[in-house]
């Protein structure tokens, strides 16, 4: 079996004049016999503010995930864009995530991928994502139909949005993600970053040779909102939410109290309030030294799911920073691949 060198791109929905796309990567089978294949649906990271579904625009594209999916497991990989934060919110993202799965079940399940005889089996779908994409994967496990058989979260957000990490502004440079310097939040140029009226679904992502963000202002919004301590305002669309939560919630509040105190308009985008025993089996991966999404987020999800009786696997990569998997090569003997290989086997089993 060989691999296709590029994906097929589809518009899975149109909002106004904005096309929102997904890519489908398929194995190139030796036979022309029609194949109805399982698929892993993947959502990219970027804090919700930036990023893209493919490697042409994003340095953060999870190449090893594509390789284990398409090359090793002979499944399809479906990588989807979604509407980015500001001016839209996570409420719009839920709509997009649901529409990805609808498009798969209504279109890709019976229309062969161009240049192949491959269709997607909608009864054998898993979902995953890295960083903010892990949050999207959690939302898919809650809202998507057909319901995914498994969830993979790579250093994913959304495990605990009520932690001090999101509710407290950063004044100590040592607490900034990746050791980035504190910014002058009163700078009018930075304030203008938030002034966005055009809906976007895709940006460049990564760093150039001088370590400047390829995604421009959008790529800086995640760390800016963390420093300011108002990330949840932009995620939920409820202005002043973070300040209200800081005033109303004590550190010892239990989940039931937090639920009652949380505005109803925002509850549907906070996964930790919405997990049930029917949530799909979940594999969590996280670096122990992650400064951009704390490992406690995955630990919280692990605890909640185990309490609910949901099958849960966890790999904690010792000393790993955010994006620790970037150097993983899907070659036997590669130390990082050997550590992460259980994900490959687990997904193959769940989609058998």
Q: What is the per-residue pLDDT across 78-102, written as a single tens digit (0 to 9) for each? A: 999 999 999 999 999 999 999 999 9
Q: pLDDT exceeding 90 applies to what percent of the chain?
A: 89
Q: How far apart are CA 339 and CA 316, in angstroms?
A: 10
The arithmetic mean of pLDDT across residues 145-165, rounded, is 97
CATH 3.40.50.1820 domain locations along the chain = 2-161+268-350
Q: Which residues contact 10 (CB under 8 A, 6 or more apart)?
A: 21, 22, 23, 24, 103, 107, 108
What is the reported pLDDT for 102? 98
pLDDT band at 5 (very low <50, low <70, confident <90, very high): confident
What average pLDDT score do residues 7-25 get? 98
Express as a percent the part of the chain with pLDDT over 70: 95
Task: Name the residue with higher pLDDT: 307 or 264.
Answer: 307
Q: Express each pLDDT in 115-142 by its tens digit.
A: 999 999 999 999 999 999 999 999 999 9
Task: Identify the pLDDT of residue 2.
Answer: 39
SS3 37: strand
pLDDT per residue over 166-216, tens digit each?
Answer: 999 999 999 999 999 999 999 999 999 999 999 999 999 999 999 999 999
Q: Based on C-alpha coordinates, what's the Rg of the chain?
A: 20
Supply the pTM of this predicted model.
0.96
Contacts of 60 (CB under 8 A, 6+ apart): 44, 45, 46, 51, 130, 131, 205, 206, 323, 326
Which helix (H) or strand (E) is 345 found in, with range?
A: helix 335-350
Taking the C-alpha atoms of residue 269 and residue 112, their distance in angstroms, rounded to an integer, is: 34
Quick check: bond before 200 cis, omega within 30? no
pLDDT value of position 3: 45
CATH class of the domain at 2-161+268-350: alpha beta
How many CB atoms are closer than 10 A to CB 315? 17
240-252 pLDDT per residue, tens: 999 988 877 655 5
Q: How far apart, in Å, are the Cα atoms of 33 and each of 7, 119, 123, 232?
A: 20, 11, 20, 49
């Amino acid at each position: 079996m060989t691999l296709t060198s590029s994906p097929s791109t589809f518009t899975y929905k149109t909002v106004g004049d904005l096309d929102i796309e997904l890519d489908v990567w398929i194995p190139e089978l030796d036979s022309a016999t029609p194949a109805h294949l399982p698929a892993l649906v993947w959502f990219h990271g970027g804090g919700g503010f930036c990023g893209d579904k493919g490697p042409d625009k994003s340095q953060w594209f999870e190449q090893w995930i594509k390789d284990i999916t398409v090359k090793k497991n002979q499944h399809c990989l479906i990588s989807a864009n979604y509407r980015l934060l500001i001016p839209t919110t996570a409420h719009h993202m839920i709509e997009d995530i649901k529409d990805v799965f609808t498009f798969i079940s209504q279109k890709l399940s019976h229309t062969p991928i161009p240049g192949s005889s491959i269709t997607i089996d909608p009864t054998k779908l898993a979902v995953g994502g890295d960083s903010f994409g892990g949050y999207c994967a959690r939302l898919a496990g809650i809202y998507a139909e057909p319901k995914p058989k498994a969830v993979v979260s790579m250093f994913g957000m959304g495990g605990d949005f009520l932690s001090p990490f999101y509710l407290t502004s950063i004044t100590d440079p040592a607490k900034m993600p990746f050791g980035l310097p504190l910014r002058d939040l009163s700078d009018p140029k930075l304030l203008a970053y938030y002034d966005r009226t055009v809906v976007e679904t895709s940006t460049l992502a990564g760093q150039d040779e001088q370590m400047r963000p390829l995604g421009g202002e959008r790529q800086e919004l995640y760390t800016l909102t963390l420093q300011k301590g108002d990330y949840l305002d932009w995620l939920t669309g409820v202005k002043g939410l973070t300040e209200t939560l800081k005033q109303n919630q004590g550190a010892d509040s239990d989940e039931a109290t937090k639920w009652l105190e949380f505005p109803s308009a925002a509850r549907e985008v906070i996964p930790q309030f919405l997990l049930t025993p029917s949530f799909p089996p979940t594999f969590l991966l996280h670096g122990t030294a992650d400064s951009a999404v704390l490992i406690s987020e995955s630990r919280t999800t692990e605890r909640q799911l185990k309490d609910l009786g949901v099958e849960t696997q966890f790999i904690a990569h010792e000393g790993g920073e955010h994006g620790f998997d970037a150097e993983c090569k899907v070659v036997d003997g590669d130390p990082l691949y050997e550590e992460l290989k259980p994900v490959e086997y687990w997904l193959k089993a769940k989609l058998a």
